[in-house]
């Protein structure tokens, strides 16, 4: 009887397409915190053990990332924006990777972000890794 109750309470598994859509929406909501200038909402997306940045400039842990990123939320206008153009989710539905362009306030492409999201036991997605990469001025290098 107990096993039957558990089975009835279990949520149906989501398809990969549903998970991709879910993580895409989470990434968009995360990016919207910058436009809305909502630092508290930004922090809410961070996992406690999150790591932002590359090898040279790394912030480890939610508090360190929040301290660094608070500077990006001080001014009335956002210093940059981003949006996902690629989202991949493990078949297990526990980890996801999102990436996409980062733009300056005037709309110029300045970077790409790469983020790893983890589904917490509560079902909420939290960001665990984030790193930007420079945009190559390849056309200029050819000249």
pLDDT at 138 over 70: no
CA 65, 59, 50: angle at the middle one, nearest 5? Answer: 65
DSSP letters for 98-116? EEEEEE-TTS-EEEEEEEE
What pLDDT is stored for residue 133 in this prediction?
A: 85
pLDDT in tens, 71-93: 999 999 999 999 999 999 999 99
Whole-number pLDDT of residue 132: 85
Q: pLDDT, tens digit, for every residue of 44-65?
A: 999 999 999 866 678 889 999 9
Domain 16-133 has CATH 3.10.450.50: yes
- Mean pLDDT (the chain, rounded): 88
Q: What are phi and psi of 115, to 5 degrees?
A: -130, 145
């Amino acid at each position: 009887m107990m096993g039957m109750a558990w089975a009835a309470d279990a949520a149906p598994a989501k398809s990969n397409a549903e998970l991709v859509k879910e993580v895409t929406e989470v990434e968009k909501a995360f990016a919207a915190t910058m436009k809305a200038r909502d630092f508290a909402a930004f922090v809410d997306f961070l996992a406690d053990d999150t790591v932002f940045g590359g090898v040279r400039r790394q912030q480890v842990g939610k508090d360190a990332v929040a301290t660094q990123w608070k500077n990006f939320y001080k001014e009335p206008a956002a210093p940059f924006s981003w949006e996902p153009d690629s989202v991949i989710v493990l078949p297990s539905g526990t980890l996801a990777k999102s990436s996409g362009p980062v733009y300056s306030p005037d709309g110029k492409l300045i970077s790409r972000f790469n983020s790893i999201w983890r589904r917490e036991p509560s079902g909420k997605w939290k960001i665990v890794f984030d790193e930007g990469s420079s945009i190559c001025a390849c056309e200029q290098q050819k000249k």
